[in-house]
Amino acid sequence: MKKSILLVAAILYGFLLFPQLIVAQNVVQTTNVTVIYKNQPLPSDFENVTKFYFYNGNLMLDQSGVTTAIPLETVKRLELDAVSNFISVADWGESTILIYPNPTSDKLYFSSPSEQNVLVAIYSLNGQLLKREQVSTSENLDVSSLSKGIYIIKVNDQIYKFSKL
């Protein structure tokens, strides 16, 4: 019991120290987005993107009212040349991991400046370990078996939270 309370306290304390949760649906003022695909040699550049978000398994890019949908399973990596309140390419260190979409109903995707293997652990809010898996940042993690709610996710040494719909 004491261990669970200490774990929850440590995780909540981690949220205060590492407010790095990136909710991509709220990123605004993005100017240029480069999409690198898994099975295509050439990337696609999208200029003057006013917002991007994730919907129905797609990456949605809005260019002043014209929306482009790109299936997430075809995307290997995104590169942002951005001015945003959350993150820009210059802020990305090798250990920075982007987790999306949040909230999700079935899968979590990971992105980082370079492809890497990460240890992912998902905890309930009471500190119970629910899932632990080694994944590549080019893969996704199936969370469809989890109940609706808020979860704590530890990726290597970074702590985030996500919502399951």
Note whether residue 157 is domain-resident.
Answer: yes
Is the pLDDT reported for residue 134 higher than 90? yes
Q: CATH number for the domain including 161?
A: 2.60.40.1930
Q: Which residue has the higher pLDDT, 92 or 33?
A: 33
Q: Which residue has the higher pLDDT, 33 or 162?
A: 162
Is the pLDDT reported for residue 23 higher than 80? no
User: Whole-prediction pTM value?
Assistant: 0.47
Note whether residue 2 is domain-resident.
Answer: no
Contact of 153 with 99, CB cutoff 8 Å: yes
Q: Which alpha helices (H) appear in the chain, and where do they start and end?
A: 2-17
What's phi and psi for 67, nearest 5 deg?
Answer: -105, 135
Domain that includes residue 125, residue range: 93-165
d(CA 163, CA 131): 15
Note whether residue 101 is domain-resident.
Answer: yes
Note whether residue 26 is domain-resident.
Answer: no
Note whether residue 53 is domain-resident.
Answer: no
- pLDDT, residue 99, reads 86
Q: Is the peptide bond before 101 cis (omega within 30 degrees of 0)?
A: yes
Note whether residue 28 is domain-resident.
Answer: no
Note whether residue 153 is domain-resident.
Answer: yes
Say how many domains are in the chain. 1
Note whether residue 40 is domain-resident.
Answer: no
Is the pLDDT reported for residue 28 higher than 70? no
